[in-house]
């Protein structure tokens, strides 16, 4: 099977991300789930924390490796001989950014193809941003993220 990368902020990962990981791992092997160091987005969780949460979540999924990258995604792909980028596409609202990113990446690195996967409709409305907002205001997020992520969010907001 072909090697692929599933890049993202994963701040934090949701059941939607996990659904894409499970499905992509049946088609690609190894599947690198790569956390972007994008500090300009001011992530709630550090790079290490985001990786730790992902590692715990994917430990039972065969062929999945968790990594991280800084700088351009296509450069990381070239260095690591990765020809396929997986992105989840939830709704029309995702389309514009994803379209721009896929075409720009293709323009600067012709050997990288982007493949989109729709998460199961159960998860199509989920976003890390909304989950953080609900958790910050004390709402129940247990049906959106794994238990260990719920605990980390509670911890994070308790300490703020
Ligand atoms: O989960 P996100 O925040 O939607 O992921 C976006 C991400 C990290 C995949 C994207 O911002 C990215 O690839 N960043 C690395 C820098 C880069 O290559 N930028 C050019 C993209 S056109």
CB 115 within 8 A of CB 85: yes
**Would you say the CB of residue 7 lies under 6 angstroms from ligand 1?**
yes
> Do 141 and 150 contact (CB within 8 A), yes or no?
yes
Q: What percent of the chain has pLDDT over 70?
A: 99
Whole-number pLDDT of residue 14 = 97
Q: Which residues lie across from 85 on neighbouring strands?
A: 5, 114
- Nearest atom of ligand 1 to the alpha carbon of 10: 1
Ligand 1 atom index nearest CA of 101: 22
Rounded CA-CA distance 55/130 in Å is: 22
Q: How many CB atoms lie within 10 A of CB 75?
A: 13
Quote the pLDDT of residue 93: 84
φ, ψ (nearest 5 deg) of residue 94: -75, -25
Q: Tell me the per-residue pLDDT of 58-74, one tens digit each, with 9 for 90 and over.
A: 999 999 999 999 999 99
88 touches ligand 1 (CB under 6 Å)? no
pTM: 0.97
Residue whose CA lies nearest to ligand 1 atom number 8:
8
């Amino acid at each position: 099977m072909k090697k692929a990368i599933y890049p993202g902020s994963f701040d934090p990962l949701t059941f939607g991300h996990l659904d894409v990981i499970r499905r992509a791992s049946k088609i690609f092997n190894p599947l690198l789930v790569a956390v972007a160091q994008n500090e300009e987005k001011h992530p709630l969780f550090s790079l290490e924390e985001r990786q730790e949460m992902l590692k715990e979540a994917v430990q039972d999924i065969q062929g999945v490796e968790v990594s991280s990258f800084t700088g351009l995604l296509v450069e990381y792909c070239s260095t690591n001989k990765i020809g396929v980028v997986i992105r989840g596409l939830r709704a029309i609202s995702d389309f514009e950014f994803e379209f721009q990113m896929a075409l720009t990446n293709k323009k600067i690195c012709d050997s990288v193809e982007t493949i989109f996967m729709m998460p199961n409709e159960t998860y199509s409305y989920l976003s890390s941003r909304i989950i953080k907002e609900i958790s910050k205001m004390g709402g129940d997020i247990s049906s959106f993220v794994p238990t260990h992520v719920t605990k980390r969010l509670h911890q994070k907001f308790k300490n703020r």
